[in-house]
Chains A and B, each alone.
Chain A
Amino acid sequence: MPLDDRYQLAFRLYPYARSADQDTDRPVRHPVVVMGGGPVGIAMALDLGLQGIPVVLLDDHEGVGQGSRAICFAKRTLEIAHRYGCGRPMLDNGVLWNVGKVFHDDRQIYEFDLLPEDGHRNPAFINLQQPHFERFLVERVREAQAAGAPIALRGKNRIDAVAVRDDHVVIDITTPDGPYRIEADWLIGCDGASSPLRKMMGLDFEGRVFQDNFLIADITMKADFPTERWFWFEPHFKSGDSALLHKQPDGVWRIDFQLGWDIDRKEEMKEENIRRRLDAMLGPDVEYELVWTSIYTFQCRRMRNFRHGRVIFAGDAAHQVSPFGARGANSGIQDVDNLGWKLGLVLNGTAPESLLDSYDLERRHGADENILNSSRSTDFITPKSKISRAFRNAVLDLAEHHAFARPLVNSGRLSVPCVYDGLPLNTPDGLPGGPARTRPGAPCPDAPIGGGFLLDHLGWDFALLGVGVDVPDRFDAEGLTLRGLTVPAEGDIKDRYLGDTTCAVYLIRPDQHVAGRWPAFDAERVSAALARSMGKD
Protein backbone atom coordinates (compact mmCIF):
# COMPACT_ATOMS: atom_id res chain seq x y z
CA MET A 1 0.00 0.00 0.00
CA PRO A 2 1.41 3.42 -0.90
CA LEU A 3 1.94 5.85 1.97
CA ASP A 4 -0.60 8.44 0.82
CA ASP A 5 -2.33 10.82 3.21
CA ARG A 6 -5.84 9.68 4.09
CA TYR A 7 -6.83 13.16 5.19
CA GLN A 8 -5.77 16.79 4.76
CA LEU A 9 -3.47 18.29 7.37
CA ALA A 10 -4.36 21.35 9.43
CA PHE A 11 -0.84 21.67 10.85
CA ARG A 12 2.27 19.85 9.63
CA LEU A 13 3.92 19.38 13.01
CA TYR A 14 6.11 16.31 12.69
CA PRO A 15 7.46 16.01 9.15
CA TYR A 16 9.11 12.74 8.24
CA ALA A 17 12.75 12.51 9.26
CA ARG A 18 14.88 9.40 8.90
CA SER A 19 15.68 7.84 12.27
CA ALA A 20 18.76 5.87 13.30
CA ASP A 21 16.49 2.84 13.85
CA GLN A 22 16.19 2.58 10.05
CA ASP A 23 19.91 1.92 9.63
CA THR A 24 20.57 -0.89 12.08
CA ASP A 25 20.98 -4.60 11.37
CA ARG A 26 18.91 -5.71 14.33
CA PRO A 27 15.62 -4.08 15.26
CA VAL A 28 16.06 -1.57 18.10
CA ARG A 29 14.05 -2.30 21.25
CA HIS A 30 12.08 0.57 22.89
CA PRO A 31 10.31 0.49 26.26
CA VAL A 32 7.10 2.05 24.89
CA VAL A 33 5.82 2.63 21.37
CA VAL A 34 2.61 4.60 20.83
CA MET A 35 0.70 3.93 17.62
CA GLY A 36 -1.21 7.00 16.42
CA GLY A 37 -0.75 10.72 16.96
CA GLY A 38 -4.34 11.85 17.57
CA PRO A 39 -5.12 13.67 20.81
CA VAL A 40 -4.91 10.44 22.79
CA GLY A 41 -1.60 9.24 21.37
CA ILE A 42 0.09 12.62 21.79
CA ALA A 43 -1.19 12.93 25.36
CA MET A 44 0.09 9.40 26.06
CA ALA A 45 3.57 10.27 24.77
CA LEU A 46 3.54 13.45 26.83
CA ASP A 47 2.49 11.70 30.04
CA LEU A 48 5.21 9.05 29.73
CA GLY A 49 7.88 11.43 28.44
CA LEU A 50 7.33 13.86 31.31
CA GLN A 51 7.87 10.93 33.69
CA GLY A 52 11.22 10.37 31.98
CA ILE A 53 10.13 7.19 30.23
CA PRO A 54 11.50 6.93 26.67
CA VAL A 55 8.60 6.79 24.24
CA VAL A 56 8.41 6.59 20.46
CA LEU A 57 5.19 7.70 18.76
CA LEU A 58 4.48 6.60 15.20
CA ASP A 59 1.84 8.25 13.06
CA ASP A 60 1.13 7.64 9.40
CA HIS A 61 0.69 11.37 8.75
CA GLU A 62 2.94 14.34 9.37
CA GLY A 63 0.69 16.32 11.63
CA VAL A 64 -2.77 17.12 12.83
CA GLY A 65 -5.71 16.35 10.57
CA GLN A 66 -7.96 19.05 9.18
CA GLY A 67 -11.62 18.69 9.70
CA SER A 68 -14.27 19.22 12.24
CA ARG A 69 -14.52 16.70 14.98
CA ALA A 70 -14.32 17.46 18.69
CA ILE A 71 -15.09 20.99 19.82
CA CYS A 72 -16.18 20.61 23.46
CA PHE A 73 -13.45 19.93 26.00
CA ALA A 74 -14.49 19.25 29.57
CA LYS A 75 -13.07 20.41 32.86
CA ARG A 76 -11.40 17.09 33.63
CA THR A 77 -9.55 17.21 30.30
CA LEU A 78 -8.38 20.74 31.06
CA GLU A 79 -7.20 19.63 34.51
CA ILE A 80 -5.18 16.82 32.97
CA ALA A 81 -3.81 19.17 30.30
CA HIS A 82 -2.84 21.55 33.08
CA ARG A 83 -0.89 18.78 34.76
CA TYR A 84 0.92 18.23 31.45
CA GLY A 85 1.65 21.95 31.24
CA CYS A 86 -0.56 22.86 28.27
CA GLY A 87 -3.85 23.83 29.88
CA ARG A 88 -3.15 27.55 29.67
CA PRO A 89 -3.14 27.99 25.85
CA MET A 90 -6.28 25.85 25.66
CA LEU A 91 -8.07 28.08 28.14
CA ASP A 92 -6.77 31.25 26.52
CA ASN A 93 -7.93 30.21 23.07
CA GLY A 94 -11.11 28.35 23.93
CA VAL A 95 -14.60 29.81 24.01
CA LEU A 96 -16.26 29.64 27.42
CA TRP A 97 -19.93 28.79 27.57
CA ASN A 98 -22.43 27.86 30.26
CA VAL A 99 -25.92 28.34 28.89
CA GLY A 100 -27.76 25.85 26.72
CA LYS A 101 -31.17 26.36 25.16
CA VAL A 102 -33.44 23.65 23.84
CA PHE A 103 -36.09 24.34 21.24
CA HIS A 104 -38.93 22.24 19.86
CA ASP A 105 -40.24 23.42 16.53
CA ASP A 106 -40.34 27.22 17.00
CA ARG A 107 -40.63 27.29 20.78
CA GLN A 108 -37.91 27.47 23.39
CA ILE A 109 -38.86 24.77 25.85
CA TYR A 110 -36.00 24.74 28.25
CA GLU A 111 -32.83 26.54 29.22
CA PHE A 112 -30.00 25.23 31.33
CA ASP A 113 -26.97 26.76 32.95
CA LEU A 114 -24.02 24.48 33.60
CA LEU A 115 -23.77 26.60 36.77
CA PRO A 116 -20.09 26.18 37.15
CA GLU A 117 -19.14 25.88 40.78
CA ASP A 118 -16.71 28.51 42.06
CA GLY A 119 -13.30 27.59 43.32
CA HIS A 120 -12.01 25.57 40.36
CA ARG A 121 -9.13 26.61 38.13
CA ASN A 122 -10.96 25.35 35.05
CA PRO A 123 -14.45 26.03 33.68
CA ALA A 124 -16.98 23.24 33.09
CA PHE A 125 -16.33 23.37 29.34
CA ILE A 126 -14.52 25.20 26.62
CA ASN A 127 -15.09 25.02 22.90
CA LEU A 128 -11.92 24.66 20.90
CA GLN A 129 -11.37 23.07 17.50
CA GLN A 130 -9.76 19.63 17.83
CA PRO A 131 -6.82 20.53 15.54
CA HIS A 132 -5.90 23.35 17.94
CA PHE A 133 -6.28 21.10 20.96
CA GLU A 134 -3.87 18.66 19.32
CA ARG A 135 -1.50 21.42 18.27
CA PHE A 136 -1.20 22.64 21.87
CA LEU A 137 -0.35 19.11 22.96
CA VAL A 138 2.34 18.77 20.29
CA GLU A 139 3.76 22.19 21.15
CA ARG A 140 4.06 21.02 24.74
CA VAL A 141 5.86 17.88 23.53
CA ARG A 142 8.37 20.13 21.71
CA GLU A 143 8.92 22.16 24.87
CA ALA A 144 9.36 19.00 26.95
CA GLN A 145 11.80 17.55 24.41
CA ALA A 146 13.87 20.73 24.60
CA ALA A 147 14.00 20.24 28.37
CA GLY A 148 15.20 16.66 27.89
CA ALA A 149 12.00 14.58 27.90
CA PRO A 150 12.78 11.38 25.95
CA ILE A 151 9.91 11.64 23.42
CA ALA A 152 10.26 10.91 19.70
CA LEU A 153 7.46 11.79 17.28
CA ARG A 154 7.87 10.06 13.93
CA GLY A 155 5.62 11.28 11.14
CA LYS A 156 4.93 9.25 8.01
CA ASN A 157 5.69 6.08 9.94
CA ARG A 158 2.85 3.69 9.31
CA ILE A 159 2.59 0.50 11.31
CA ASP A 160 1.67 -2.26 8.89
CA ALA A 161 2.13 -5.42 10.95
CA VAL A 162 2.77 -6.53 14.51
CA ALA A 163 3.89 -9.81 16.03
CA VAL A 164 2.87 -9.96 19.68
CA ARG A 165 5.23 -11.99 21.87
CA ASP A 166 4.95 -12.73 25.58
CA ASP A 167 7.30 -9.97 26.63
CA HIS A 168 7.53 -7.66 23.64
CA VAL A 169 5.98 -6.71 20.31
CA VAL A 170 7.71 -6.73 16.92
CA ILE A 171 6.55 -3.82 14.77
CA ASP A 172 6.84 -3.44 11.00
CA ILE A 173 6.78 0.12 9.75
CA THR A 174 6.52 1.70 6.30
CA THR A 175 8.14 5.09 5.65
CA PRO A 176 8.84 7.18 2.54
CA ASP A 177 12.34 5.58 2.64
CA GLY A 178 10.91 2.08 2.74
CA PRO A 179 10.20 -0.37 5.54
CA TYR A 180 11.99 -0.97 8.83
CA ARG A 181 11.36 -2.91 12.00
CA ILE A 182 11.51 -2.06 15.70
CA GLU A 183 10.55 -3.82 18.92
CA ALA A 184 8.66 -2.51 21.92
CA ASP A 185 8.30 -3.80 25.46
CA TRP A 186 4.85 -2.20 25.39
CA LEU A 187 2.74 -1.05 22.47
CA ILE A 188 -0.09 1.43 23.11
CA GLY A 189 -2.74 1.42 20.38
CA CYS A 190 -4.10 4.94 19.97
CA ASP A 191 -4.88 4.50 16.29
CA GLY A 192 -8.48 5.69 16.29
CA ALA A 193 -11.94 4.21 15.80
CA SER A 194 -11.08 2.14 12.74
CA SER A 195 -7.89 0.90 14.46
CA PRO A 196 -5.73 -1.07 12.04
CA LEU A 197 -3.99 -2.55 15.11
CA ARG A 198 -7.24 -4.14 16.28
CA LYS A 199 -7.62 -5.69 12.85
CA MET A 200 -4.00 -6.89 12.72
CA MET A 201 -4.64 -8.69 16.03
CA GLY A 202 -8.06 -9.96 14.97
CA LEU A 203 -9.79 -8.32 17.94
CA ASP A 204 -13.48 -7.53 18.33
CA PHE A 205 -15.17 -4.12 18.48
CA GLU A 206 -18.82 -4.63 19.21
CA GLY A 207 -21.77 -2.36 19.79
CA ARG A 208 -24.50 -0.41 18.08
CA VAL A 209 -24.59 1.54 14.87
CA PHE A 210 -27.19 4.29 14.99
CA GLN A 211 -29.21 4.49 11.83
CA ASP A 212 -28.83 8.17 11.23
CA ASN A 213 -26.62 10.64 9.38
CA PHE A 214 -25.50 13.98 10.70
CA LEU A 215 -24.32 16.80 8.49
CA ILE A 216 -21.66 18.88 10.24
CA ALA A 217 -21.05 22.37 8.89
CA ASP A 218 -18.47 24.69 10.40
CA ILE A 219 -19.09 28.19 9.12
CA THR A 220 -17.86 31.70 9.75
CA MET A 221 -20.55 34.36 9.88
CA LYS A 222 -21.16 37.86 11.04
CA ALA A 223 -24.15 37.33 13.26
CA ASP A 224 -24.59 37.95 16.90
CA PHE A 225 -25.89 34.71 18.23
CA PRO A 226 -24.93 34.48 21.89
CA THR A 227 -22.21 32.14 23.13
CA GLU A 228 -24.67 29.41 24.04
CA ARG A 229 -25.45 25.89 22.93
CA TRP A 230 -28.71 25.87 20.99
CA PHE A 231 -30.37 22.60 20.18
CA TRP A 232 -33.58 22.18 18.17
CA PHE A 233 -35.79 19.12 18.03
CA GLU A 234 -37.92 19.07 14.84
CA PRO A 235 -36.92 22.66 14.02
CA HIS A 236 -39.46 24.91 12.30
CA PHE A 237 -36.88 25.75 9.61
CA LYS A 238 -36.96 22.09 8.54
CA SER A 239 -33.22 21.78 7.92
CA GLY A 240 -33.09 18.44 9.68
CA ASP A 241 -34.86 16.33 12.32
CA SER A 242 -32.71 18.14 14.85
CA ALA A 243 -30.17 20.93 14.67
CA LEU A 244 -27.35 22.22 16.86
CA LEU A 245 -25.64 25.60 16.90
CA HIS A 246 -22.49 26.09 18.94
CA LYS A 247 -19.72 28.67 18.94
CA GLN A 248 -16.05 27.97 18.37
CA PRO A 249 -13.06 30.33 18.51
CA ASP A 250 -12.19 32.64 15.57
CA GLY A 251 -15.81 33.47 14.65
CA VAL A 252 -16.46 29.87 13.61
CA TRP A 253 -19.81 28.24 14.38
CA ARG A 254 -20.53 24.53 14.49
CA ILE A 255 -23.89 23.59 12.99
CA ASP A 256 -25.23 20.03 12.95
CA PHE A 257 -28.24 18.77 11.04
CA GLN A 258 -29.77 15.37 11.60
CA LEU A 259 -30.50 14.02 8.12
CA GLY A 260 -32.03 10.59 8.76
CA TRP A 261 -30.88 7.19 7.51
CA ASP A 262 -31.93 6.96 3.86
CA ILE A 263 -30.04 9.76 2.24
CA ASP A 264 -27.97 10.30 -0.87
CA ARG A 265 -24.68 11.35 0.70
CA LYS A 266 -23.23 12.74 -2.49
CA GLU A 267 -26.30 14.85 -3.14
CA GLU A 268 -26.40 16.10 0.46
CA MET A 269 -22.72 17.10 0.36
CA LYS A 270 -23.27 19.43 -2.61
CA GLU A 271 -22.63 23.00 -1.52
CA GLU A 272 -25.99 24.25 -2.85
CA ASN A 273 -27.84 21.70 -0.74
CA ILE A 274 -25.85 22.48 2.39
CA ARG A 275 -26.48 26.17 1.82
CA ARG A 276 -30.20 25.54 1.34
CA ARG A 277 -30.34 24.03 4.85
CA LEU A 278 -28.21 26.78 6.37
CA ASP A 279 -30.22 29.54 4.69
CA ALA A 280 -33.44 28.09 6.06
CA MET A 281 -31.99 28.10 9.55
CA LEU A 282 -30.13 31.41 9.57
CA GLY A 283 -32.51 33.45 7.42
CA PRO A 284 -31.82 35.09 4.07
CA ASP A 285 -29.82 38.04 5.42
CA VAL A 286 -27.01 36.25 7.19
CA GLU A 287 -23.79 36.05 5.20
CA TYR A 288 -21.53 33.12 5.95
CA GLU A 289 -18.70 31.04 4.57
CA LEU A 290 -18.33 27.29 4.77
CA VAL A 291 -15.13 26.31 6.58
CA TRP A 292 -15.65 22.56 6.69
CA THR A 293 -18.49 20.18 5.97
CA SER A 294 -18.88 16.47 6.41
CA ILE A 295 -21.47 13.77 7.00
CA TYR A 296 -21.05 11.38 9.92
CA THR A 297 -22.81 8.28 11.17
CA PHE A 298 -22.41 7.36 14.81
CA GLN A 299 -21.69 4.23 16.73
CA CYS A 300 -21.38 3.20 20.34
CA ARG A 301 -19.08 0.24 20.85
CA ARG A 302 -16.02 -0.97 22.69
CA MET A 303 -13.45 -3.72 22.73
CA ARG A 304 -14.19 -6.51 25.17
CA ASN A 305 -10.76 -5.95 26.75
CA PHE A 306 -8.41 -3.01 26.45
CA ARG A 307 -5.29 -4.90 27.50
CA HIS A 308 -3.98 -7.80 25.44
CA GLY A 309 -0.67 -8.81 27.06
CA ARG A 310 1.92 -6.29 25.96
CA VAL A 311 -0.54 -4.38 23.78
CA ILE A 312 -2.85 -1.83 25.40
CA PHE A 313 -5.57 0.13 23.62
CA ALA A 314 -6.70 3.67 24.47
CA GLY A 315 -9.04 6.31 23.07
CA ASP A 316 -11.30 5.70 20.08
CA ALA A 317 -9.38 2.52 19.22
CA ALA A 318 -10.72 0.98 22.45
CA HIS A 319 -14.15 2.59 22.59
CA GLN A 320 -16.32 4.79 20.43
CA VAL A 321 -19.34 6.87 21.40
CA SER A 322 -21.78 9.11 19.57
CA PRO A 323 -20.75 12.74 20.03
CA PHE A 324 -23.77 13.78 22.09
CA GLY A 325 -22.24 14.60 25.42
CA ALA A 326 -18.72 15.21 24.09
CA ARG A 327 -17.45 11.99 25.56
CA GLY A 328 -15.01 10.87 22.85
CA ALA A 329 -11.77 12.76 23.17
CA ASN A 330 -12.63 13.67 26.76
CA SER A 331 -12.76 10.02 27.77
CA GLY A 332 -9.65 9.18 25.73
CA ILE A 333 -7.67 11.74 27.72
CA GLN A 334 -8.92 10.07 30.92
CA ASP A 335 -7.61 6.75 29.57
CA VAL A 336 -4.18 8.33 29.29
CA ASP A 337 -4.47 9.84 32.76
CA ASN A 338 -5.24 6.37 34.11
CA LEU A 339 -2.63 4.42 32.14
CA GLY A 340 0.32 6.82 32.40
CA TRP A 341 1.27 6.36 36.05
CA LYS A 342 0.50 2.64 36.04
CA LEU A 343 2.79 1.98 33.11
CA GLY A 344 5.37 4.22 34.77
CA LEU A 345 5.34 2.18 38.00
CA VAL A 346 5.43 -1.14 36.12
CA LEU A 347 8.30 -0.02 33.89
CA ASN A 348 10.47 1.07 36.79
CA GLY A 349 9.73 -2.13 38.64
CA THR A 350 7.86 -0.59 41.57
CA ALA A 351 4.50 -2.20 40.81
CA PRO A 352 3.62 -5.63 39.42
CA GLU A 353 2.52 -5.98 35.81
CA SER A 354 -0.96 -6.88 37.05
CA LEU A 355 -1.49 -3.20 37.92
CA LEU A 356 -2.17 -2.76 34.22
CA ASP A 357 -5.21 -5.02 34.48
CA SER A 358 -6.75 -2.32 36.64
CA TYR A 359 -6.43 0.05 33.67
CA ASP A 360 -8.50 -2.43 31.70
CA LEU A 361 -11.12 -2.68 34.46
CA GLU A 362 -11.32 0.99 35.35
CA ARG A 363 -11.44 2.33 31.83
CA ARG A 364 -13.92 -0.29 30.64
CA HIS A 365 -16.08 0.93 33.51
CA GLY A 366 -15.60 4.48 32.19
CA ALA A 367 -16.34 3.43 28.62
CA ASP A 368 -19.53 1.64 29.67
CA GLU A 369 -20.73 4.74 31.47
CA ASN A 370 -19.99 6.89 28.43
CA ILE A 371 -21.61 4.43 26.04
CA LEU A 372 -24.69 4.22 28.25
CA ASN A 373 -25.04 8.00 28.39
CA SER A 374 -24.38 8.68 24.75
CA SER A 375 -26.64 5.79 23.62
CA ARG A 376 -29.48 7.18 25.70
CA SER A 377 -28.98 10.65 24.21
CA THR A 378 -28.93 9.20 20.72
CA ASP A 379 -32.10 7.22 21.40
CA PHE A 380 -33.80 10.43 22.50
CA ILE A 381 -32.55 12.46 19.54
CA THR A 382 -33.20 9.68 17.01
CA PRO A 383 -36.30 7.81 18.24
CA LYS A 384 -36.15 4.35 16.75
CA SER A 385 -39.85 3.49 16.70
CA LYS A 386 -43.22 5.19 16.49
CA ILE A 387 -43.81 4.84 20.20
CA SER A 388 -40.36 6.10 21.18
CA ARG A 389 -41.05 9.16 19.05
CA ALA A 390 -44.43 9.56 20.78
CA PHE A 391 -42.81 9.55 24.23
CA ARG A 392 -39.97 11.81 23.07
CA ASN A 393 -42.43 14.35 21.71
CA ALA A 394 -44.61 14.05 24.81
CA VAL A 395 -41.58 15.02 26.91
CA LEU A 396 -40.79 17.96 24.62
CA ASP A 397 -44.42 19.01 24.59
CA LEU A 398 -44.69 19.03 28.39
CA ALA A 399 -41.27 20.53 29.09
CA GLU A 400 -42.17 24.10 28.19
CA HIS A 401 -44.76 24.51 30.93
CA HIS A 402 -44.03 21.66 33.33
CA ALA A 403 -40.70 21.61 35.09
CA PHE A 404 -40.93 17.88 35.81
CA ALA A 405 -40.43 16.99 32.14
CA ARG A 406 -37.25 19.03 31.69
CA PRO A 407 -34.83 16.55 33.26
CA LEU A 408 -36.14 13.99 30.76
CA VAL A 409 -35.09 16.13 27.77
CA ASN A 410 -31.85 14.59 26.54
CA SER A 411 -29.86 16.46 23.91
CA GLY A 412 -26.60 15.09 25.32
CA ARG A 413 -25.42 14.48 28.89
CA LEU A 414 -22.17 16.35 29.03
CA SER A 415 -18.96 14.55 29.87
CA VAL A 416 -17.98 14.23 33.50
CA PRO A 417 -15.17 12.00 34.77
CA CYS A 418 -16.26 8.62 36.05
CA VAL A 419 -15.92 7.40 39.61
CA TYR A 420 -14.22 4.00 39.85
CA ASP A 421 -16.86 2.78 42.28
CA GLY A 422 -16.39 -0.70 43.68
CA LEU A 423 -13.19 -1.42 41.75
CA PRO A 424 -10.23 -3.23 43.31
CA LEU A 425 -7.70 -0.40 43.65
CA ASN A 426 -9.97 1.44 46.11
CA THR A 427 -9.80 0.93 49.84
CA PRO A 428 -13.32 0.91 51.28
CA ASP A 429 -14.41 4.28 52.60
CA GLY A 430 -13.00 4.86 56.11
CA LEU A 431 -14.51 8.31 56.63
CA PRO A 432 -18.08 8.10 57.89
CA GLY A 433 -19.94 11.32 57.05
CA GLY A 434 -17.42 12.24 54.33
CA PRO A 435 -18.83 13.83 51.16
CA ALA A 436 -19.95 11.41 48.43
CA ARG A 437 -18.12 13.37 45.75
CA THR A 438 -14.72 12.58 47.28
CA ARG A 439 -15.38 8.90 48.04
CA PRO A 440 -12.70 6.36 47.11
CA GLY A 441 -12.54 6.06 43.31
CA ALA A 442 -13.65 9.66 42.70
CA PRO A 443 -11.49 12.26 40.94
CA CYS A 444 -10.45 14.97 43.40
CA PRO A 445 -12.50 18.14 42.98
CA ASP A 446 -10.37 21.25 42.71
CA ALA A 447 -10.44 23.98 45.38
CA PRO A 448 -8.51 27.19 46.01
CA ILE A 449 -5.60 27.01 48.43
CA GLY A 450 -3.05 29.65 49.32
CA GLY A 451 -3.50 31.79 46.21
CA GLY A 452 -3.41 28.75 43.92
CA PHE A 453 -5.40 25.57 43.46
CA LEU A 454 -5.39 22.20 45.18
CA LEU A 455 -4.92 20.16 42.00
CA ASP A 456 -1.63 21.94 41.32
CA HIS A 457 -0.28 20.08 44.36
CA LEU A 458 -1.59 16.68 43.38
CA GLY A 459 -0.71 14.37 40.52
CA TRP A 460 2.30 12.50 39.06
CA ASP A 461 2.98 10.74 42.38
CA PHE A 462 0.92 9.33 45.21
CA ALA A 463 0.16 12.03 47.77
CA LEU A 464 -1.30 12.42 51.23
CA LEU A 465 -3.74 15.22 51.90
CA GLY A 466 -4.55 16.18 55.47
CA VAL A 467 -7.54 18.47 55.89
CA GLY A 468 -7.70 19.97 59.37
CA VAL A 469 -5.25 17.33 60.62
CA ASP A 470 -1.51 16.88 60.09
CA VAL A 471 0.02 14.41 57.69
CA PRO A 472 3.80 13.91 57.48
CA ASP A 473 5.55 15.97 54.75
CA ARG A 474 7.20 12.79 53.51
CA PHE A 475 6.12 9.24 53.96
CA ASP A 476 8.07 6.23 52.67
CA ALA A 477 6.18 3.03 51.91
CA GLU A 478 6.04 0.31 49.27
CA GLY A 479 9.19 1.60 47.58
CA LEU A 480 7.67 5.05 47.06
CA THR A 481 8.03 8.42 48.73
CA LEU A 482 4.69 10.12 49.22
CA ARG A 483 4.38 13.87 49.50
CA GLY A 484 2.18 15.13 52.30
CA LEU A 485 0.10 18.27 52.13
CA THR A 486 -1.66 19.61 55.22
CA VAL A 487 -4.33 22.26 54.69
CA PRO A 488 -6.68 24.05 57.10
CA ALA A 489 -10.31 22.95 57.26
CA GLU A 490 -11.92 25.97 55.67
CA GLY A 491 -13.74 27.21 52.58
CA ASP A 492 -14.33 25.02 49.55
CA ILE A 493 -11.86 22.37 50.74
CA LYS A 494 -13.94 21.90 53.86
CA ASP A 495 -17.17 21.48 51.86
CA ARG A 496 -15.64 19.17 49.29
CA TYR A 497 -13.39 17.02 51.49
CA LEU A 498 -14.92 17.04 54.98
CA GLY A 499 -18.69 17.21 54.64
CA ASP A 500 -20.05 16.46 58.12
CA THR A 501 -16.71 15.50 59.64
CA THR A 502 -14.09 17.73 61.22
CA CYS A 503 -10.89 16.36 59.73
CA ALA A 504 -9.74 13.86 57.15
CA VAL A 505 -6.71 12.22 55.57
CA TYR A 506 -6.84 11.31 51.89
CA LEU A 507 -4.53 9.02 49.95
CA ILE A 508 -4.52 10.33 46.38
CA ARG A 509 -3.34 8.50 43.28
CA PRO A 510 -1.03 10.01 40.67
CA ASP A 511 -4.10 10.56 38.45
CA GLN A 512 -5.73 12.62 41.24
CA HIS A 513 -8.33 9.96 42.06
CA VAL A 514 -8.99 9.15 45.71
CA ALA A 515 -7.51 5.78 46.76
CA GLY A 516 -8.67 5.85 50.39
CA ARG A 517 -9.68 8.22 53.21
CA TRP A 518 -9.77 8.17 57.01
CA PRO A 519 -10.35 10.54 59.94
CA ALA A 520 -6.63 10.62 60.85
CA PHE A 521 -3.20 9.55 59.62
CA ASP A 522 -2.41 5.93 60.35
CA ALA A 523 0.82 4.68 58.76
CA GLU A 524 -0.32 1.08 58.61
CA ARG A 525 -3.64 1.82 56.95
CA VAL A 526 -2.08 4.20 54.47
CA SER A 527 0.58 1.61 53.56
CA ALA A 528 -2.03 -1.09 53.07
CA ALA A 529 -4.17 1.21 50.91
CA LEU A 530 -1.09 2.20 48.92
CA ALA A 531 -0.14 -1.42 48.29
CA ARG A 532 -3.66 -2.05 47.14
CA SER A 533 -3.70 0.85 44.70
CA MET A 534 -0.42 -0.36 43.28
CA GLY A 535 -2.06 -3.64 42.36
CA LYS A 536 -0.09 -5.60 44.96
CA ASP A 537 -3.12 -7.37 46.42
Chain B
Amino acid sequence: MFLNTLPNITDPDGFYAELLGVHEGLSDEDSIALNARLVLILANHIGDRAILTEALAVATKGGAK
Protein backbone atom coordinates (compact mmCIF):
# COMPACT_ATOMS: atom_id res chain seq x y z
CA MET B 1 0.00 0.00 0.00
CA PHE B 2 1.06 3.55 -0.52
CA LEU B 3 -0.46 6.99 -0.23
CA ASN B 4 -3.16 7.63 -2.78
CA THR B 5 -2.58 11.10 -4.25
CA LEU B 6 -4.97 10.62 -7.17
CA PRO B 7 -8.54 11.95 -6.99
CA ASN B 8 -10.43 9.73 -4.53
CA ILE B 9 -13.31 11.83 -3.16
CA THR B 10 -16.58 11.27 -5.01
CA ASP B 11 -18.05 14.71 -4.43
CA PRO B 12 -15.07 17.09 -4.30
CA ASP B 13 -17.03 20.36 -4.26
CA GLY B 14 -19.48 19.07 -1.70
CA PHE B 15 -16.66 17.86 0.56
CA TYR B 16 -14.80 21.15 0.24
CA ALA B 17 -17.91 23.15 1.14
CA GLU B 18 -18.50 20.90 4.15
CA LEU B 19 -14.90 21.36 5.29
CA LEU B 20 -15.21 25.14 5.14
CA GLY B 21 -18.65 24.89 6.68
CA VAL B 22 -17.46 23.36 9.95
CA HIS B 23 -14.97 26.21 10.32
CA GLU B 24 -17.51 28.93 9.73
CA GLY B 25 -17.73 31.49 12.49
CA LEU B 26 -14.84 29.94 14.43
CA SER B 27 -11.98 32.01 15.84
CA ASP B 28 -8.56 31.17 14.42
CA GLU B 29 -7.78 29.36 17.63
CA ASP B 30 -10.90 27.21 17.48
CA SER B 31 -10.23 26.45 13.82
CA ILE B 32 -6.71 25.32 14.66
CA ALA B 33 -8.14 23.06 17.37
CA LEU B 34 -10.71 21.62 14.99
CA ASN B 35 -8.09 20.94 12.34
CA ALA B 36 -5.91 19.22 14.92
CA ARG B 37 -8.78 16.95 15.94
CA LEU B 38 -9.55 16.23 12.31
CA VAL B 39 -5.95 15.30 11.52
CA LEU B 40 -5.87 12.89 14.44
CA ILE B 41 -9.19 11.28 13.51
CA LEU B 42 -8.19 10.78 9.88
CA ALA B 43 -4.70 9.60 10.80
CA ASN B 44 -6.17 6.95 13.06
CA HIS B 45 -8.50 5.80 10.31
CA ILE B 46 -5.55 5.34 7.96
CA GLY B 47 -3.51 3.72 10.70
CA ASP B 48 -0.72 2.43 8.43
CA ARG B 49 2.47 4.04 9.76
CA ALA B 50 4.26 4.08 6.41
CA ILE B 51 1.36 5.84 4.70
CA LEU B 52 1.19 8.40 7.48
CA THR B 53 4.88 9.13 7.09
CA GLU B 54 4.38 9.52 3.36
CA ALA B 55 1.44 11.86 3.92
CA LEU B 56 3.47 13.97 6.33
CA ALA B 57 6.24 14.24 3.76
CA VAL B 58 3.84 15.25 0.98
CA ALA B 59 2.19 17.84 3.25
CA THR B 60 5.56 19.21 4.37
CA LYS B 61 6.68 19.68 0.80
CA GLY B 62 3.45 21.43 -0.17
CA GLY B 63 3.47 22.92 -3.65
CA ALA B 64 7.26 22.89 -3.91
CA LYS B 65 8.60 20.51 -6.54
Contacts and interface: CB of A to CB of B under 8 A. Distances in A.
Interface of A: 386-387, 390-391, 393-395, 397-398, 402, 404-405, 408
B50 to A, nearest CB: 18
A207 to B, nearest CB: 25
Contact of A405 (B32, B33, B35, B40): B40
Given A390-B35, A398-B41, 9 more contacts: A386-B32, A387-B32, A390-B33, A393-B33, A394-B40, A398-B37, A404-B41, A404-B44, A408-B40
Contacts of A408: 40
Contacts, number: 29
Interface string B19-36: 000000000000011011
Nearest to B40: A394
A387 B33 CA distance: 9
A394 B37 contact: yes
B43 to A, nearest CB: 9
Contacts of B35: 390
Interface string B27-65: 000001101110111001000000000000000000000
- Secondary structure at the A interface, as helix, strand, loop or mixed, is helix
- Secondary structure at the B interface, as helix, strand, loop or mixed, is helix
Interface residues of B, number: 9
Contacts of A393: 33, 36
Contact of B40 (A386, A387, A395): A395
8 contacts: A391-B39, A397-B33, A398-B37, A402-B41, A404-B41, A404-B44, A405-B40, A405-B44
Contact of A391 (B40, B41, B44): B40
Contact of B36 (A390, A402, A404): A390
- Of B33, B36, B39, most buried by chain A (CB within 10 Å of CB) is B36
Contacts of B41: 398, 402, 404
A391 B37 CA distance: 7
Nearest to B44: A404
B42 to A, nearest CB: 11
B36 A394 contact: yes
Contacts of B37: 394, 397-398
- Of B33, B35, B37, most buried by chain A (CB within 10 Å of CB) is B37
A393 B40 CA distance: 11
A398 B40 contact: yes
